[in-house]
Amino acid sequence: MAKPNFAKDQLRSLVERVERLEEEKTALTGDIREVYAEAKGHGFDTKIVRQVVRLRKLDSTEREERDALLDLYMSALGMVN
């Protein structure tokens, strides 16, 4: 009989943890939005700031491969002089 109660308590604990994390994620999303608004208020282009943030997540090899492919594709489309 103890096993069904254990599973029930374990499930409740897991669900509550996910709920707390979702609340934290919502709060963090709001904080991030505020930082981008602050950047915009200082005259920065937030699209470019977002792109820089994404690029900083990549290691240098991944970034170089991405840049090389971008150059290749742009060249193929006649977008590079």
Q: How many domains does the chain have?
A: 2
Are residue 73 and residue 49 in the same domain, yes or no? yes
| pLDDT score for 5 | 87
Q: What's the confidence (pLDDT) of residue 80?
A: 84
- Type of residue numbered 76: A
Tell me, yes or no, if the pTM score tops 0.85: no
Distance CA 26, CA 42 (A): 25
Quick one: 9 and 36 in the same domain?
A: yes
Q: How does pLDDT run across 6-53, given as a tens digit for each residue? A: 899 999 999 999 999 999 999 999 999 999 999 999 999 999 999 999
Whether pLDDT at 58 is above 60: yes
- Mutual angle of helices 2-41 and 46-56, in 10-degree steps: 130
Q: Which pLDDT belongs to residue 1? A: 53
Query: What is the domain extent for residue 34?
Result: 1-42
pLDDT of 6 reads 86
* Same-domain status, 55 and 38: no
Are 66 and 81 found together in one domain?
A: yes
